[in-house]
Structure 1
Amino acid sequence: MLYLMRHGAPVREGLLLGRTDDPATEAGVAACLGRAESLDVLQIFSSDLARARACAAAVAAPRRIEVAADARWRELNFGAWDGLRPDEVDPSAFARFHEDPDVAPPPGGERWSALQDRVSRALDAIPPAASLVVTHGGAIRAALAHLCGFDRQQLWAFDLPYAALVSLRIWPGAVRTVQITGLTT
C-alpha cells in the first residue's frame, strides 16, 4: 500500500504556499495524526518543508519510524507568487497558469512538468513496502498523474483538503495497476 497524505492546515491558510516554509497548526498536525491512526505502514516519507515534516513526525513517533524528508515531495514552486493570496496575483496571469501551468508558470516559478518529473523520481525511489508520504496538494496530484495517468483537468476534479488521505494499492508488473480509495470529487 502507498498512502499519500496532504499536510495539516498551515498557520496562514489561503496563500499560494509553495516554497514558503510556514508550519502546520497544532490542529492541522492533530488532524493528520487522527487520519493516520489506523494505517499500517513500515516507512514514512515527507516533503522537507515544516508543514509536512511536523505532520509526518507526529504520525511516525508512536510507530518508532524515522521520517525520510525529501525535497522532491515539495509543493510546486510559485516563484514571485509564493506567499501571496490568489487575489493578489494578476487575474489574467493566474487564469493562464490554471489553464496550462506548463505554458504559463508563475514568474520565476516551476512548470507543472517539472513538478511531475521530480515527484515521479521520488515515487520510483520508494522501496516496495507499506508507505506513507506526507506532502502537498500539488505533489499528490503529480503522483496521481504518474501512477494513474490522469490529465490536469481530471486531477483538479479531486478534493484534497488539508489532512486528506489517498490510499493506493499498486500491483507490480509490466502494466501498472492501481486501486484508489479516499478521493472525493
Structure 2
Amino acid sequence: MTAFALHLLRHGAPETPGLLMGRTDGAPTPEGIAACVAQAQTLGIERLIASDLRRSRAAGEAIRAALGVPLLIDPRWRELDFGDWDGKAAGAIDRDALGRFWNDPDACSPPGGERWSALARRVSAAIGDLAPVPTLIVTHGGAMRAALHALCGFDQRQLWTFDLPYAARLSLRLWPGEPTSAQIAGLTP
C-alpha cells in the first residue's frame, strides 16, 4: 500500500506556560494559534484532526478557516492526565516524585493521573483509525511522543530526547497495514 503523510502539530503557546497541563483546558495565545497556522500552510492536507482541549481545538479551528479543510475533534489525542499535578508548575510538585515519573511514567504515574500505557493505547487506537490520506493532527507533546512510541518503537526514555516546543510539527510517512510502519520525515520547531 502507498505511504501517506501524517503531521503531528503541538498546540501553540498557552496563556500560562510552564504548567503540567494535561486535562487543564487552558487558552492558547493568539501568537500560539498563528504559529500553528503557519506550520500548516504548505502541507497539502486532506484531513484535519484536533484534540478536544481548547489549546489544540482553537488552533485546529484557525487552520480549518485558513485552509478550508473540515475539522474533526478527537479526544483520544489529549495530553496525558497529570491527576493531582494537573495545572501545577513542576516546582510545586515533590521533586523526587516528579523525578520518578519522568524516569518511568507508567510505573510512577501522577497521583490520580493517567498511566503512560493508557495514553499510548488511546493514541495507538486513534492512529489505527486514520484514513490513508495526508493528515494533520493538532495535539500535545505527550500524545506526539506516544505516537512515536506506537509507530517507531521508541521506548519511554528515548522519547524525552525529542524537543517538541509549542507549535512544533513532527512529520511522518506511514504505510498502513498490520502493523502500521512509519518513517520520520521531519521535525520543524
TM-score by length of structure 1 reads: 0.96
Question: Which aligned segments of 4 or more residues in structure 1 are displaced greater than 6 angstroms?
Answer: none
- Asked if structure 2 preserves the Cα contact closer than 8 Å seen for 1:147 and 1:178, the reply is yes
- Asked if structure 2 preserves the Cα contact closer than 8 Å seen for 1:159 and 1:183, the reply is no
Q: How does 1:25-174 map to 2 (within 5 A)?
A: 25-174=29-178
Deviates further, 46-55 or 171-180: 171-180
Cα distance, 1:106 vs structure 2: 0.4
Q: Give the root-mean-square deviation of aligned CA atoms.
A: 1.2
Q: Which runs of 5+ in 2 are unaligned?
A: none
- Asked if structure 2 preserves the Cα contact closer than 8 Å seen for 1:158 and 1:183, the reply is no
Cα distance, 1:44 vs structure 2: 0.4
Question: Which of 17, 31, 34 lines up with 1:13 in the alignment?
Answer: 17
Mapped partners of 2:127, 2:179: distance in 1: 16
Mapped partners of 1:56, 1:70: distance in 2: 11
Q: What fraction of aligned residue pairs are identical, expressed as a percent?
A: 54
Mapped partners of 2:123, 2:132: distance in 1: 16
TM-score by length of structure 2 reads: 0.94
Cα distance, 1:172 vs structure 2: 3.4
What does residue 23 of structure 1 align with?
27
